[in-house]
Each structure stands twice: as structure tokens, then as C-alpha cells.
Amino acid sequence: MRHPRKLKDNATYHVTIRANRREMVLFCTAMRILFLNVVKRAKKKYKFQIDNFSVMGNHVHLIIRPGKDESLSRVMQWILSVFAMAWNRAHFQTGHVWGERFFSKIINNCVEFLKTFHYISQNPVKAQLVKSSEEWEFGGLWHFISGQKEIIGEPVSWLQKIYRNYCRIFCPDILK
């Protein structure tokens, strides 16, 4: 029996999505780009902000804030179903792309936000895909540094400070 999803108005969530059977559905660059393109389309259809993200080989992490009167479940259902249909078309397959329903946890305070931000940023480093998190093209830090605003948008001032300080501490080479 599923536990009801914990939702709260104006909340920020850490969302994790896993591929069915932990298959590497996002392993190739084309599929990662496809996923990000679906997110871009979703941002035109729904009101939500992504504060950080990382698209890995078999899962995705997001820090997401649904807009006023917007449903986290509706946004995620659209993203995941549209991507699944596109993935199946591209691979001439049918059936499930994603495993169990997406995981979401409300981020309750600044400390939790910073820990989640760091965890997501370091995911590709821990997986040994890059040496430093700002090198990961499929993550929020790279998008912020390179001025790509279609996924993370223009971060609010406090979030810009987090990105800059994170870079100063964890990626000092890029500030030279």
C-alpha cells in the first residue's frame, strides 16, 4: 500500500526519479538532452522553479518548487510520462521507463536545502563522471555558471549567493 505523498503549499522538494530496474535509460547524452528538453517544455506548461538538478544514468535529482496553485504530482507526472513516450519511440519499445513512483521529500529549512544542494551537485563527482561538479553539463551548477537559464531560470538573489559561494568553496578554479 502506498503512503500518501506529503505535500505543502509553497514547499521546496527534493525529488528523485529512478529508471525501471535501475536501467541506464539516461546513459547517453542524447537521452539526457531529451529529458532536459521535456523539462523545458514542462516549464512552459506549468509554474515551477528548479533550484538544482542532476541527470544521471539511471536516475534524476531535482530541487523543485511548484508555483502557487501548482501540483508537484501533476508537474512530475507530465515530465515523466512525456519523457517515457519519447524514450519508447526513440528505442522502438513499449512499457515502463520509470520504476516506482517518484520520491519526494519536503526541504524544511536552510540546512536541509544546503545539504540537498551539495548532495545533488556532487552526485556526478561521486559517480566518477567528472572531477568537479561544475563540469557536469546535466546539472544545475554547470547551467548556472554557463548562463543557461532554461532549466534553472534566473535564480533568486539568495540562491545566486548559494551558487556563487558553492563555486568559491568547491570549484575555486572557475573563479580565476
pLDDT in tens, 148-163: 989 998 776 777 777 7
Q: Is residue 28 part of a domain?
A: yes
What pLDDT is stored for residue 175 in this prediction? 46
Query: Domain for residue 2, yes or no?
Result: no
Q: Does 35 fall in a domain?
A: yes
- Where the chain has pLDDT below 50, the residues are 175-176
| Cβ neighbours for 170, distance < 8 A, ≥ 6 positions apart | 121, 132, 133
**CATH code of the domain covering residue 126:** 3.30.70.1290
- To which residue does cell 580565476 refer? 176
Give yes or no for a contact between 101 and 2, defined as CB atoms under 8 angstroms apart: yes
Q: Report how far residue 66's alpha carbon sits from residue 72's, in angstroms, rounded to the nearest whole number.
A: 6
For 32, the grid coordinates are 539526457
The pLDDT value recorded for residue 142 is 92
Percent of the chain with pLDDT over 90: 61
Helix axis angle for 72-91 and 29-45, nearest 10°, is 140
